[in-house]
C-alpha cells in the first residue's frame, strides 16, 4: 500500500478500552462498517488485541480492540486476557474509553480509569448504549465526573450506529498532524497481513466466529473454558469444507456444549455456517465436534 505524502493527513494508533461488555468490539465494527470483531453479551468475548486499519480522507488509524478489563481475576485465561489492554494503551496516541451508561459504575471502571490515567495519550470518553438508557434510566451521574480527565466526551449507541462518526471526528481532531515513519511502516505491514484475518480463508476469523456462536448458546461460566480451532479449510468448486473443533476444559462442559441429542452443537454450527455463507457468497459445509482438552489455555493464551 502506498501512503500518500499529503501533509494534512493524520496517522496514529487508537486503542479501545473498557470493562467487559461495554461495547468496544461493537464500536469497532461500526467504525469499520463491517464485522471485524466478534461480540456477545458474555464477558471476555474479545481475548486478544485485534488491530485493523481505518482509512478515510483524513488519514489512517490503526484501531486496536482490546479485551475488557476485569477487576479480580483468578483463572489462567482471565489473567492472560487482563494483560492485553495495558500493552496497547502504552503505544496509543489516543485512548478511547468506553463506559456502559445502562449499568452502574463498578470497581472495574476504577481499574480501567487508573490505567488510562497513566497514559500520556489524548483521551476520549465514550458513553455507550444511549439507546438503552436515556434520561431517568441511565447512570450518567456516576460517570460524569470523569469528563474532566478526558479531552473529549461523546454519547453514542454503537449497536444502532448513532454518533459513531462523532467519535471518529474527535479522534482525528486529537491525533498529531505529523505522520511518524514507524506508524506508516506498521500500517503497511498490517495492511498486508490483516486482510485474511477478516476473510473466509482465515482460520482465525472462522474460529472466532464459531466461538461467538457458541457464546450465544452457552451460560456465563462457560466462556472461560471454551476455545475453537479450525483444523481444515478446503475450497472446492461450489462449496467450502471447514472442519473445526470446540475445545473445553471439562467433560461436564463438553456435554453442555453438545446438548441433548446434539441440539446445541447443531445450533452453533447452523448459525456459524449461515454467517460464513453470507460473507463468502458460497455454500459452506461446517463440521464441528467437541473435545475435552484441559491444556488449551496454556497453548493458546501465552
Ligand atoms: N443496546 C445496546 N447494546 C449494545 C451496544 N453496544 C454493544 N451492545 C451489546 O453489548 C454486548 C457486548 O458488546 P461487545 O461489543 O461484545 O462488548 P465488548 O466491550 O467488546 O466486550 P468484551 O470483548 O467482553 O470486553 C453485546 O451483546 C452487544 O450487542 C449499544 O450501543 N446498545
Ligand atoms: Mg470485545
Q: In order of start, what are the domains of the chain with their CATH numbers?
A: 10-193 (3.40.50.300), 199-300 (3.30.300.20)
pLDDT at position 73 = 85
Q: Give the ligand whose atoms come closest to the C-alpha of residue 35.
A: 1
Which atom of ligand 1 approaches the CA of 69 most closely? 25
223 close to ligand 1 (CB < 6 Angstrom): no
Q: Give the ligand whose atoms come closest to the C-alpha of residue 129.
A: 1
24 close to ligand 1 (CB < 6 Angstrom): yes
The closest residue, in CA terms, to atom 23 on ligand 1 is 46
Dig out the grid coordinates for 213 from the structure: 456462536
**pTM of the predicted structure, to 2 decimals:** 0.92
Q: Hey, how many other C-beta atoms are within 10 angstroms of the C-beta on 238?
A: 6
The closest residue, in CA terms, to atom 16 on ligand 1 is 39
Rounded distance from Cα 186 to ligand 2 centre (Å) = 23
84 close to ligand 1 (CB < 6 Angstrom): no
Rounded distance from Cα 276 to ligand 1 centre (Å) = 21
Which atom of ligand 1 approaches the CA of 65 most closely? 20
276, 284 contact by CB (below 8 A): yes
The closest residue, in CA terms, to atom 4 on ligand 1 is 159
Rounded distance from Cα 104 to ligand 2 centre (Å) = 19
Which atom of ligand 1 approaches the CA of 29 most closely? 15
137 close to ligand 1 (CB < 6 Angstrom): no
Digit-by-digit pLDDT tens for the chain (302 residues) are 455 555 678 889 999 999 999 999 999 999 999 888 999 998 889 999 988 999 999 999 999 999 999 988 888 988 999 999 999 999 999 999 999 999 999 999 999 999 999 999 999 999 999 999 777 778 999 999 999 999 999 999 999 999 999 999 999 999 987 666 777 777 777 777 654 344 555 888 899 999 999 998 887 767 778 999 999 999 888 899 999 999 999 999 999 999 999 999 999 999 999 999 988 888 999 999 999 999 999 998 88
The closest residue, in CA terms, to atom 8 on ligand 1 is 23
Q: CA–CA separation, 301 vs 99, rounded Å?
A: 26
The closest residue, in CA terms, to atom 32 on ligand 1 is 129
10, 172 contact by CB (below 8 A): yes
Amino acid at each position: 500500500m502506498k501512503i500518500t505524502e499529503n501533509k494534512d493527513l493524520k496517522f496514529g494508533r487508537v486503542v479501545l478500552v473498557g470493562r467487559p461488555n461495554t461495547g468496544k468490539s461493537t464500536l469497532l465494527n461500526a467504525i469499520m462498517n463491517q464485522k471485524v470483531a466478534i461480540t456477545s453479551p458474555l464477558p471476555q468475548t474479545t481475548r486478544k488485541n485485534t488491530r485493523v486499519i481505518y482509512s478515510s480522507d483524513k488519514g489512517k488509524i490503526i484501531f486496536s480492540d482490546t479485551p475488557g478489563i476485569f477487576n479480580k481475576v483468578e483463572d489462567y485465561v482471565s489473567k492472560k486476557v487482563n494483560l492485553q489492554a495495558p500493552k496497547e494503551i502504552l503505544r496509543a496516541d489516543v485512548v478511547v474509553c468506553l463506559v456502559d451508561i445502562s449499568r452502574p459504575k463498578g470497581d472495574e471502571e476504577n481499574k480501567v480509569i487508573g490505567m488510562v490515567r497513566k497514559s500520556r495519550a489524548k483521551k476520549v470518553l465514550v458513553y455507550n448504549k444511549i439507546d438503552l438508557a436515556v434520561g431517568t434510566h441511565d447512570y450518567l451521574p456516576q460517570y460524569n465526573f470523569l469528563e474532566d480527565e478526558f479531552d473529549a466526551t461523546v454519547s453514542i449507541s454503537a449497536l444502532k450506529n448513532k454518533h459513531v462518526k462523532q467519535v471518529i471526528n474527535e479522534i482525528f481532531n486529537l491525533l498529531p498532524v505529523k505522520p511518524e515513519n514507524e506508524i506508516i511502516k506498521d500500517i503497511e505491514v498490517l495492511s498486508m497481513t490483516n486482510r485474511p484475518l477478516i476473510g473466509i480463508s482465515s482460520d482465525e476469523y472462522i474460529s472466532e466466529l464459531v466461538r461467538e456462536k457458541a457464546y450465544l448458546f452457552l451460560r456465563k461460566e462457560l466462556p472461560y473454558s471454551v476455545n475453537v480451532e479450525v483444523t481444515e479449510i478446503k475450497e472446492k468448486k461450489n462449496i467450502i469444507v471447514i472442519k473445526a473443533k470446540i475445545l473445553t476444559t471439562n467433560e461436564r462442559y463438553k456435554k453442555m456444549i453438545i446438548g441433548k441429542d446434539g441440539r446445541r452443537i447443531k445450533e452453533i454450527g447452523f448459525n456459524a455456517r449461515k454467517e460464513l455463507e453470507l460473507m463468502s457468497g458460497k455454500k459452506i459445509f461446517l463440521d464441528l465436534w467437541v473435545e475435552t482438552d484441559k491444556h488449551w489455555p496454556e497453548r493458546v493464551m501465552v
